[in-house]
């Protein structure tokens, strides 16, 4: 393994009195794409965990906008402690009913204002949640099918102090409100690419227009062994469109044929892709043998959801990849490195891979120290796999330049996060 420290005093670079170490090194052994087995999962937009991530991040974006509008600065908040409690339904061929609504608990910390000025935090949070549901889950009525419990309290004095408006001038950066690490990587493997694209295809507007009978709670698990990929797909069918058991299995066959044909044009270097759709189905078993849903999400009665149990910020759960333990969704976009560094690490890895010739695979790690400005990580590490004939010294200068540029542009990046420009699920 070869190592390279950034130049400077003692092998480190100094900036504003803080030590920032940038470590660039060559990876050893096969990349994930070259390993004999690979497992990747994607929880779709209607999955209970994804619903939590999507809504809690929308709440953070809404609070950031409201804080800027009312106080001229983003105030302290983290809305990353969300829980979706499953409801209760009665499924029936031809159309069932919702017997008990789901419950969404929106929790953690959020400042209510400055001095005598106050913001109605619960109202902002609930309206953001309803807006997300209307946009992404058309069969879930935000008024009738969901109850809301807001548990957002003011934060500690020490952390709130990081958000004083006097510290938030143009181009200023916040101190990190946690000591934490994050990681990102590029490019996606064929398995990762196909798993992500499959869910997006099945939940895309074109597919749903052709098959309005299908729900949004799509889950895809991909298992690649050498160059053969097995996909296990779960997707509910809306009971109001299914009059008989025979209709269900006929439609299921049509959907499977559509998906197989679509995948056949996207397999890349893979020799084959096999697909299993709704593997628990059993013909002749009646309601117990069909994956039916009233609202299109298993949160209606089968499965609760929680922030941080779903996809990482690039939309995947890739089991051979290094992972951060942080749940990015809902964390504030200007000081919490659990969000900033997770998104930035993936963006930076992708930019390095695309802009620096000679690379096969890139992984970026970033670690903060609480209170230190977020544009001054305690350490940044970049592991690269290079193409034949390429040496570390051929690429390290360009890589270091990309890292330093990303840190210099971090205030602008944080503003885009606050506007919701980077998805985290």
Full DSSP string of 295-314: SSSGGGTT--EETTSS--TT
Question: Residue 114's CB: how many other CB atoms inside 10 A?
Answer: 17
The percent of residues in the chain predicted with pLDDT above 90, rounded, is 84
- pLDDT tens-place string over residues 5-28: 443 333 334 444 444 568 999 999
Q: What is the pLDDT of residue 385?
A: 98
Q: Which of 132, 167, 202 is the last residue of a domain?
A: 167
Residues 197 and 295 in one domain: yes
Q: Distance between terminal CA atoms of the chain?
A: 34
- pLDDT tens-place string over residues 103-155: 999 999 999 988 888 999 999 999 999 999 999 999 999 999 999 999 999 87
Task: Report yes or no on 334 lying in a domain.
Answer: yes
Specify whether the CB–CB gap between 379 and 180 falls below 8 A. no
- pLDDT tens-place string over residues 311-346: 999 999 999 999 988 899 999 999 999 999 999 999
Q: What is the pLDDT of residue 115?
A: 81
Give 157's pLDDT tier (boundaries 50, 70, 90). low
| Total tally of structural domains belonging to the chain | 3
Distance CA 420, CA 333 (A): 9
The owner of tokens 């993936």 is 346
The owner of tokens 């419990």 is 149
Burial 3-33 (b: 16+ CB within 10 A, else e): ebebeeeeebbeeeeebbbbbbbbeeeeebb
Provide mean pLDDT across the span 45-56: 98
The percent of residues in the chain predicted with pLDDT above 70, rounded, is 91
Residues 409 and 338 in one domain: yes
- Domain with 212 in it: what CATH number? 3.30.300.340
Q: Is the pLDDT of residue 4 over 70?
A: no
- How far apart, in Å, are the Cα atoms of 15 and each of 5, 117, 164, 344, 408? 15, 37, 23, 20, 11
Q: What is the pLDDT of residue 164?
A: 63
Domain membership of residue 212 as a residue range: 190-306
Q: Write out the E strands in 207-339.
A: 219-225, 228-234, 237-238, 272-277, 292-293, 305-306, 317-318
Specify whether the CB–CB gap between 39 and 320 falls below 8 A. yes
Residues 184 and 326 in one domain: yes
Q: What is the pLDDT of residue 156?
A: 67
Q: Kindly report the average pLDDT of the chain as a whole number.
A: 92
Q: Which of 133, 167, 201 is the last residue of a domain?
A: 167
Token pair of 425 as six digits? 């699920």
Task: Report yes or no on 380 lying in a domain.
Answer: yes
Task: Report yes or no on 317 lying in a domain.
Answer: no
Distance CA 93, CA 90 (A): 10
56: nearest Cα among 109, 107, 110: 107
Q: What is the pLDDT of residue 78?
A: 94
Compute, in degrees rounded to 10, the torsion defined by CA atoms 127, 130, 131, 132: 130
The backbone torsions φ and ψ at residue 90, rounded to the nearest 5 degrees and listed phi first, read: -120, 110
What is the helix (H) or strand (E) element at residue 417, kind and residue range? helix 410-418
Instruction: Report the SS3 class of residue 238.
Output: strand
Q: What is the pLDDT of residue 10?
A: 33
Task: Report yes or no on 40 lying in a domain.
Answer: no
Distance CA 322, CA 277 (A): 29
Residues 198 and 183 in one domain: no
């Amino acid at each position: 393994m070869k190592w390279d420290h950034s130049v400077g005093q003692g092998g480190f670079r100094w900036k504003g009195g803080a030590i920032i170490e940038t470590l660039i090194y060559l990876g050893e052994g096969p990349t994930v794409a070259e390993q004999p087995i690979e497992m990747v999962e994607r929880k779709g937009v209607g999955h209970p965990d994804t619903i939590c991530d999507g809504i809690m991040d929308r709440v953070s974006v809404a609070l950031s906008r409201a804080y800027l509008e009312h106080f001229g600065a983003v105030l302290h908040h983290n809305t990353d402690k969300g829980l979706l409690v499953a409801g209760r339904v009665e499924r029936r061929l031809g159309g069932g009913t919702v017997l008990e609504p789901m419950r969404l608990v929106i929790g953690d910390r959020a400042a209510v204002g400055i001095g005598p000025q106050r913001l109605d935090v619960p109202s902002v949070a609930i309206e953001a949640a309803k807006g997300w549901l209307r946009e992404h889950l058309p069969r879930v009525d935000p008024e009738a099918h969901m109850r809301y419990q807001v548990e957002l309290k003011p934060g500690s004095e020490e952390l709130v102090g990081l958000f004083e408006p006097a510290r938030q001038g143009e181009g200023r950066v916040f101190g990190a409100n946690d000591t934490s690490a994050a990681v990102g990587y590029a490019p996606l493997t064929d398995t990762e690419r196909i798993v992500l694209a499959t869910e997006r295809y099945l939940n895309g507007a074109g597919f749903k227009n052709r098959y309005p009978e299908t729900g949004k709670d799509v889950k895809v698990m991909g298992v690649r062994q050498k160059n053969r990929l097995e996909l296990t797909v779960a997707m509910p069918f809306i009971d109001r469109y299914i009059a008989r058991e025979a209709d269900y299995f006929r439609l299921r066959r049509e959907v499977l044929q559509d998906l197989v044909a679509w995948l056949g044009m996207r397999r890349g270097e893979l020799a084959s892709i096999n697909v299993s759709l709704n593997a628990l189905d059993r013909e002749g078993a009646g309601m117990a043998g069909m994956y039916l849903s009233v609202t299109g999400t298993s949160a209606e009665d089968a499965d609760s959801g929680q922030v941080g149990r779903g996809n990482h910020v690039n939309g995947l759960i890739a089991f051979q990849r290094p992972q951060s333990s942080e749940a990015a969704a809902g964390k504030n976009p200007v000081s919490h490195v659990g969000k900033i560094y997770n998104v930035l690490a993936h963006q930076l890895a992708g930019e390095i891979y695309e802009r620096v010739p000679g690379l096969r695979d890139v992984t970026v790690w970033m670690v903060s120290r609480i209170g230190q400005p977020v544009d001054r990580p305690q350490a940044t590490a970049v592991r690269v796999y290079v193409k034949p004939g390429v040496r570390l010294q051929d690429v390290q200068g360009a890589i270091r330049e990309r890292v330093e540029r990303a840190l210099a542009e971090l205030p602008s990046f944080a503003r885009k996060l606050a506007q919701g420009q980077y998805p985290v699920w």
